[in-house]
Structure 1
Amino acid sequence: MPPESGSSISDAEWAAFVQESERGIPASAPKEPSARARMVTERLREQESRGAKPGGWRTTAPLHEREERESRRRRRWVFLGLPVVVALAAVAMRPSLLPGDPFGTGEPKAAVSASPLPAETAAPSAAPDSVDPERPTLARPFAGSPAAQWADGEAGIVLPKATPVGSLSKAQVEQALKQTGKLLIDANLDPATLRGGRPETALAVIDPQQKDLLKLLNTALSKPDKDHDPLLMFSRFDPAELRLAGDVVKTRGRMTFKAGERASVVVHADYTFVYPVVRIGKDATTEVERTIIRRVLDVELYDPAEYVVTPGKITVTKYDENIGNSACEIYDGYLHPEFSTTEPTGAPATGPTTDPYDRSQSLDENREAGCGVVSRT
């Protein structure tokens, strides 16, 4: 491909390149010189007839002195160099072909379609691999996140196939699984709950016999403080400050069940939710940040023939959470993700640095007191 007008390659250099290329290309390749090459060659002949000596980097050493020791390297250059010349020409015409748009052309980067992961059936052996450190945008709120391959919302909460357990029938076990799913969905995915609304469905599936738990949750929703924090079970953002970037929350996790010790079925749920949000109101921008929450719940459904319980309702025996990217020591009942363009809020982090996407360990392992920092969002 001949050099374009304005190229820094001289006619002499181009002619020498063509001559060397022809010597390095196998005999089966075409040898007909291009019109540009013939023009350059004719110009060089005219210069020689006038006694003019063309300058250029190839005059620093006679070509015939280097031919023998460089013949192998030259053939390698012809084979590899010509594709590089073509590639460079293509990049010159379309700089956006380079990753990351280094020349600031402003051309939008095409979204990479990530293949969805299969449903999680057991604890992973390690944290997800690192991905390209792309910044999330309104168009691609999960860019640069392992969650790009996770399921969307409720699709990530897959109920296992129910079977009879102890004195409980298949239908009763299935009811326990469905009630647990309802709690998770309403507490972490329902748009009204995320906007700070009251999660009525989640509260309704809990057995009214759990008076202390329901009292704590109701107080936390109406008058949150350090001892009554709704974030222990519900995901909520202040609707006056934040909104979701799009309408998708990414979900990954699993649900299992086993026979309980007291004529019951124990359902174990372990899920991570990823929320991309943007600021609204007086601080509105298009900057997207993500908050990641992992929730672990154990619930039981007791055999009503053996215990005084409300049939069809579940008893929450454990609720634990790990929240990534939310200001420390703020107890107003809302999540407060940190944005890179604003000053940090809340108390300084005192806990360890953790990967919020790491689902390979239980929340009980290596847990340290104090609000920590996340290694990625």
Structure 2
Amino acid sequence: MTTDSSPAPEGEGSLPDEVWDQFLRDTETDIRASAPREPSARARIVARRLREEEARLAEASRRRPGRGVRGPGPHAWRSGTTDAAEVRLRRRSRIRGAAAVVLVVLLLLIVLAPGRAWSFIRGDGWQQGGTPGPAPTSVSPQPGPGHTIRT
């Protein structure tokens, strides 16, 4: 009785170990290369958000058939940026722009006419040189007791 447990028939030789190892390596590499890859959690979240956005735009276009529906803003691909946030950012930038223009005008007034600007800050109004001028009078001055008026 023989102790050979190989199922190969008696006329054929078995595969050498090197060939078998090469087969296993090639098979494992091919399986790993062709296996489907599961997307990351972030990719799944982004895909879900895009599907929801498309559904929202489709719903909005069904509600308003005559109007064109605006797509997402230029920063909508960023996570956390919504249309309301973009509106707030635009409003803030407009306010900052207006404040910058007012500041530049005030600085120019101070540089070009510092005396007038200082009198305006003190509350004297826009006086020349920062000193109050003579008070306007509608009555002609009356001469004193020792003066005579010559005509």
Higher RCO (C-alpha 8 Å, min separation 6): 1
Q: Which structure shows the higher strand fraction? A: 1
TM over 0.5: no
Q: Which structure shows the higher helix fraction? A: 2
TM-score (norm 2): 0.28
TM-score (norm 1): 0.14
Between structure 1 and structure 2, the one with the greater Rg is 2
